[in-house]
Amino acid sequence: MTDKIITTLLTTGPHQTLPTTRLIRTYLSGHLIARTTSALYVWENPHYPQYYLPISSISPSYLIPTTPFPILDASNVHGSAQHAVLSVSDRSIDDVVIFTCGKLDGYVRVPFSAMDAWFEEDVQVYGEHPRSPFVRIDVLGSSRRVRVEVEGTLVAESRGCRFLYETGLGTRYYMPKTSVQMQYLKPSVTTTKCPYKGMANYYDVVIGGKVYKDLVWWYEYPTAESVGIAGMVCFYAEKCDVTVSDEEGFPAVEEPEVDGVEQNGDMEEERGRSKC
């Protein structure tokens, strides 16, 4: 997968780049691998960025260049790159790339998820990629009624929800646990991490002996920007019946698609954004 990404970067270039002065640090096996205020956001795809680190921010004792990256059609090349290994203690990462010419010259691509931890200033970044500077999270309290049914069974209803609006994605409705028929919810072992919200825990919904896997998620300790949803639960609206209405007599609201793309599910995962 990395070879395909690098080939694209060297032939057509990244979708977008943006320098940042944020202090970026990353760790592996307890070692500080890189520390820089000159990282580059690089969009390898249109949906989210990765950090690219200046080669000077990584100790030469950790970064070991190996073989040049091969390009079959040299007439279409706008840069060059070299494979490398990041090695510390008893661990190594061999999916590292050093750019040696072109727009990304002098930067190193380190697989985000391969590292133990990333920090922006002193705030840890969770998930599979950094937060995009163009994505905004708004958590707004609402008195609109939210009602959730699973196969005709009412499992939650509330007028005290928090609506989470995330740039480019559909609205998520977070409900107090006291508004949920908790006898239908069973803790799941599943966890996921989102760079914008933190680590999510899940519930299965069990009705009449049928298990609806990971239909509900919640954040016990969300990130600062999403602290308003702490301890509240959200139902996977694409897999159950969620209706949102104003005062009695007003019609229910149907969530529109964003840019004609199905929200969540496989389509959203392809875009690199967690369903939660």
pTM of the predicted protein model:
0.82
**CATH topology assigned to domain 2-125:** 2.170.150
**CATH topology assigned to domain 137-255:** 2.170.150
Q: What pLDDT score does 261 carry?
A: 37
Q: What pLDDT score does 101 carry?
A: 86
Paired with 210 in beta bridges are: 207
Element housing 2 (H / E): helix 2-11
Q: What pLDDT score does 267 carry?
A: 33
Q: Which residues of 241-250 are buried (b: 16+ CB within 10 A; e: fewer)?
A: ebebeeeeee
Element housing 11 (H / E): helix 2-11
**What residues contact 236, with CB distance under 8 A and at least 6 apart?**
214, 215, 216, 217, 264, 275
Matching fold, domains 2-125 and 137-255? yes
Domain residue extents for the chain? 2-125, 137-255
**What residues contact 243, with CB distance under 8 A and at least 6 apart?**
146, 147, 252, 253
Tokens matching residue 218: 């919640």
- Which residues, given as ranges, of the chain have pLDDT below 70? 1, 71-76, 247-274
Element housing 63 (H / E): strand 63-68
